Amino acid sequence: MNVAKRLFSLYIYGSMHVAMSVLALVLMTNHQFGLPFNWPVAAFAYCGTMFSYNFMKYDGLFRVKKTAGPRVKIIVALSTVALAIAGASFFFLERASQITAVLSFGLTALYTVPFFPKTKNLRNWSGVKIYIVALCWAGITLLLPLIDAGALITSDVYLKFCQRFLLIITLIAIFEIIDLREDDPHLKTIPQQIGVHKAKILNIILLALFFFLELLRTTIDYRQLAANLCMVIATALFTIYATPNRPKYYTLFWVEAVPIFWFGLVVVFGTV
């Protein structure tokens, strides 16, 4: 049991779970636009996410040269492997896809590394974090697979980009509610600015907007609509029951698993 707990902890804190969520959204894009499975895109999205998240979490630790525990050392080793795989996959992407990837992960670098002498990094810019992360996720999980496949950028793509952006915003807002007591007040997260109750109402409104945007597609897939409804209800429940007293695994595992659950639904409903 001890070993199982350690492996689960490594899976969560080594950013493998969040990388699975990104991969699930890439597969969702393939399904929604009829794209074939693309190994370089999938490998780049998964391994690039794993490395980026671990870099954001543990970069500061190594810059101040603190002693790392065994788990962090394993995570660093796995992240190095992930970086190598992401780097190799990058060279198999189309040129336009490479530009998209560089832009997305460039935002991640700006978010973490203190390039600007007076502002440290983008993480310290008030109210910016949530939009940067949402843009990166939408870019990697939606635009990257489409651009690499040479798909046309139609009105449906813009619609899906808005939906993907809204979904990530709502998921991050739940994280911000859980982390309310720990977050620096200068970050100006949504619950810090408008309060937990109003943040929850806003999340429900954004989820409703996400759902109704599906009705604007040129062709409506009612099985996809049903999957979307189940996912929206689940996310709404996570929002309603979110409080700063919840344990970390409430978001780190359950909320982070929403994209995986969503893709699982389209498989169950037979839309894949």
- The model's pLDDT over 137-155, given as tens digits with 9 standing for 90+, comes to 999 999 999 999 999 999 9
Average confidence score pLDDT of the chain: 88
pLDDT at residue number 214: 94
CA–CA distance, 64 with 56 (Å, rounded to integer): 14
- 116 by DSSP, 3-state: which? strand
Residue 44, C-beta contacts closer than 8 angstroms, at least 6 positions apart: 86, 89, 90, 93, 101, 144
The model's pTM: 0.91
pLDDT digits 0-9 by tens, 79-115: 999 999 999 999 999 999 999 998 887 776 666 555 4
- Specify whether the CB–CB gap between 207 and 147 falls below 8 A: no
CA–CA distance, 179 with 138 (Å, rounded to integer): 23
Number of Cβ within 10 Å of residue 196's Cβ equals 16
Residue 34, C-beta contacts closer than 8 angstroms, at least 6 positions apart: none
Residue 231 tokens read as 């996912």
- Specify whether the CB–CB gap between 150 and 94 falls below 8 A: yes
pLDDT at residue number 64: 47
pLDDT digits 0-9 by tens, 209-266: 999 999 999 888 899 999 999 999 999 999 999 999 999 899 999 999 999 999 999 9
